[in-house]
Amino acid sequence: MKLPRWFHQFGSPPYVYRLADRLCPWLGGLGGALLAVGAVWGLAFAPPDYQQGESARIIYIHPQTAYIGMMAYVVMAVASAIGYVWRLKLAHAVAVSAAPIGAWFTFCALFTGAVWGRPTWGTYWQWGDPRIMFEALLLFLFLGYLALREAFDDRDKADRVTAILAVVGVVNIPIVHYSVEWWNSLHQTSTLLAEGGPAMTTDMLIPFLIMVAAFTLTFYWLLLRRLQAEIVEREGDARWIRELVGEGAR
């Protein structure tokens, strides 16, 4: 399978490393700013939800962190699939970088989801809610991926084996998601965190979208920074790394 030319460009670590260096300041700055704006807006200015009152303010972080978790898994699976098929070390590096971020954010989504449920259901852990169940299963998939990767001492083998797990995982995610959704519909508990969340008025929607953008930018900033570290580690003996090391990377 002949790869298009530009694909090769993204395959060369030095190019990607410098690209990340150029992008990161923008991603970080904009992401951080939006995070601050969105949080303040959501906490202070947005109106409380008529049903749940103030606790609805969590809507500005829970769906976002959950979405980041899922996106991280998809990025991980696609990157490792590319790495496996075309033997691109760099693609595996992207997968390695995305996994821990995804795990962290899924854990965060799990916690914020549980806390959000507290005032409405009176319990911290509402098994009935499909979103929390799915977050938990997604977190286990991440932990499984990270555990399998740590179990191998040879990096190349670790890359290719975890790539297979990631691809199988991403195929199973929709299945698990809809079977949990289907399972939930049987028990008819109140699905507070329904797909779109409680009906959102426009002045709630704006901070919501700001936070989505903020988290996305932050995710890619984290991904690129970790990718740079992974590149340096994997290309250790390359000449361009030694020049870099010489000048002491930031």
Partner 1 sequence: MSEFFLMGGHGAYVWSAYGLTLAVVIINVWLARAKLRAAPQRARELATQAEAPRKQPTVRRLQ
Partner 2 sequence: MWRGERCLFEQLHFELEPAQLALLIGPNGSGKTTLLRVLAGLGLPTSGSVTWNGLAVSELAVEQRAEVAYRGHLEALKRDLTVVENLRFHAALWRTDTNVELILEELKLGSVAHMRARYLSAGQRRRVALAMLKMSGAKLWLLDEPTTNLDAEGRALVVDWTRRHLAEGGLAVIATHQPDEFAARGALMIEL
Partner 3 sequence: MGAFNAVFSRDLRVAFRRWSELAHPLIFFSIVVTLFPLALSPTAAQLREVGVGVLWVATLLSSLLALDGLFRGDAEDGTLEQLLLSPVSTTVAVYAKVTAHALVTLVPLICLVPLSAYTFNIPAAALPTLVLALLLATPTLTVLVGLGAALTVGLRRGGSIVGLLVLPLTSPLLIFGTRATDLSMNGEPAAAPLFLLAALAVLAVSLGPLAIAAAVKVGIE
Instruction: Give the residues lining the site for partner 1 (CB under 8 A).
Output: 35, 39, 43-44, 48, 52-55, 57-58, 61-62, 65, 100-101, 104-105, 107-108, 111-112, 115-116, 118-119, 218, 221-222, 225-226, 228-230, 232-233, 235-237, 241-242, 244-245, 248-250
Could you say which of 179, 189, 191, 216 contacts partner 3 (CB under 8 A)?
Answer: 179
Strand partners, 53: 49
Q: How far apart are alpha carbons 167 and 171 in whole angstroms?
A: 6
Q: How far is the CB of 237 from partner 1 (least distance, A)?
A: 3
Q: Give the span between the Cα atoms of 19 and 223, in whole angstroms.
A: 13
Sequence-ordered list of residues with C-beta below 8 angstroms from that of 63, at least 6 positions apart, any chain: 193, 197, 208, 212
Residue 53 backbone phi and psi in degrees, to 5: 70, -140
Per partner kind, with CB cut-offs from 5 to 8 A, the member of partner 2, partner 1, partner 3, none near residue 226 is partner 1
Q: Contact at 8 Å (CB) between 114 and 62? A: no
Q: Are 117 and 135 in contact (CB under 8 A)?
A: no
Name which of 11 and 28 has its Cβ closer to partner 1.
28
Tallying the residues shown for the chain, one arrives at: 250
Show the tokens assigned to 159: 């890359």
Question: Least distance in Å: CB of 6 to partner 1?
Answer: 26
186-215 residues in contact with partner 3 (CB under 8 A) are 186
Residues 119-178 within binding reach of partner 3 (CB under 8 A): 137, 140-141, 143-144, 147-148, 151-152, 157, 160-161, 164-165, 167-169, 171-172, 175-176
Task: Pick one of partner 3, partner 2, partner 1, none as the site partner of residue 39 (Cβ within 5 to 8 A by kind).
Answer: partner 1
Nearer to partner 2, 82 or 193 (CB): 82
Residue 183 touches partner 3, criterion: CB under 8 A: yes
Q: Name the minimum Å distance from CB 154 to partner 2.
A: 6
Subset of 142-161 contacting partner 2 (CB under 8 A):
153-156
For binding to partner 2 (CB under 8 A), which residues are involved? 87, 153-156
Q: What are the residues binding partner 3 (CB under 8 A)? A: 137, 140-141, 143-144, 147-148, 151-152, 157, 160-161, 164-165, 167-169, 171-172, 175-176, 179-180, 182-183, 186
